[in-house]
Structure 1
Amino acid sequence: MSHGTLMERMGIEFTEVSPERLVATMPVAGNTQPYGLLHGGASVVLAETLGSFGAVLNAGEGKIAVGIDINATHHRAARAGLVTGVATLLSAGNTMVSYEIVISDEDGRRCCTSRLTCLIRDLPPGAPAAG
């Protein structure tokens, strides 16, 4: 499902998936800014990937989820290894789903806190179903 996507290029790998909680890792290497620190945008990509997948799980058959709002607070820099994102469901309704995503380094220190809200829509005619 991730072949040829940004998720593949960033090295994001899911380790836990349920509608209430999703966990994925991403390497710092290859996702840094010029100073060798994890790029803030890479953290946002990880957060949106986790929350969007969760929203799709909550949306149900014949529905899609599209991100409409994301924010991120960067607390500390990651310099090496893997970061882990944990998305926790905040709210799931018929039209909107929100997650809080916490990204931590290998020592368990919080690097970023993000919140994503997705709009639930009907699958457009002729569009491939997720999964």
Structure 2
Amino acid sequence: MEKKTKKLLNELNNLKKNTLINMMQIQFIFLSIQLDILIAKMPVNHKIFQPFGYIHGGATIILAESVGSSISFINIKNENKEDLNVFSIEISANHIRSIKKKGILFAKAKIFHKGNTLHFIQVNVYDEKKNIISFCKLTNIIIPKK
């Protein structure tokens, strides 16, 4: 892994302190050299199951939105990232498969459009055996901090 991508991954993992991302134990593990693909992982355990014993769809969406927003943060064209905010304004998810056991989920975000104001992201959530769990689409807006 290149020095730049390793530095950006460390930055993302340090930003998550005292956040929902940290509480869900999401860890950013891969960033492509082109900065267009980001992968994160999240443990699956009883804390994120719904009452019927399957993973809660909301937990899957938290993972997808976390990795999707983070890839936008990395791709903000302005070098002064601290002057801009990234907000998800739309997310859709198609849950393909359910999970009923402990393990690890992975989310692979790919940025398809990097405008100055809007970013479009596709996120695939899958298990350790590379079985697709959910397909997600995310739209992020980039706005200046006030």
Q: What TM-score, normalized by structure 2, do the two folds share? A: 0.80
Residue 27 in structure 1 maps to residue 43 in structure 2? yes
For residues 112-131 of structure 1, what are the structure 2 equivalents within 5 Å?
112-124=134-146
Identity across matched positions, percent: 31
1:27–1:82 Cα contact (<8 Å) kept? yes
Q: Deviations over 1:83-111 (max 9, x none)?
A: 10000111111110111000001111000
Structure 2: which 5+ residue stretches go unaligned? Answer: 1-14
Q: What is the aligned-residue RMSD (CA, Å)?
A: 1.2
SS of 1:54's partner is helix
Task: Give TM-score, length-normalised by structure 1.
Answer: 0.89
Contact kept, 8 Å, 1:67 with 1:119, in 2: the verdict is yes
- Contact 1:58–1:97 under 8 Å retained in 2: no
- Which structure carries more helix by proportion? 2
CA distance in structure 2 between the aligned counterparts of 1:123 and 1:56, rounded to whole angstroms: 13
Moved over 2 A (4+): none
Q: Residue 55 of structure 2 corresponds to which residue in structure 1?
A: 38
In structure 2, the partner of 1:4 is: 18
Q: Does 1:51 align with 2:68?
A: yes
1:93 maps to 115
Q: Secondary structure at the match of 2:48?
A: coil
Which sections of structure 1, spanning at least 5 residues, go unmatched? 125-131
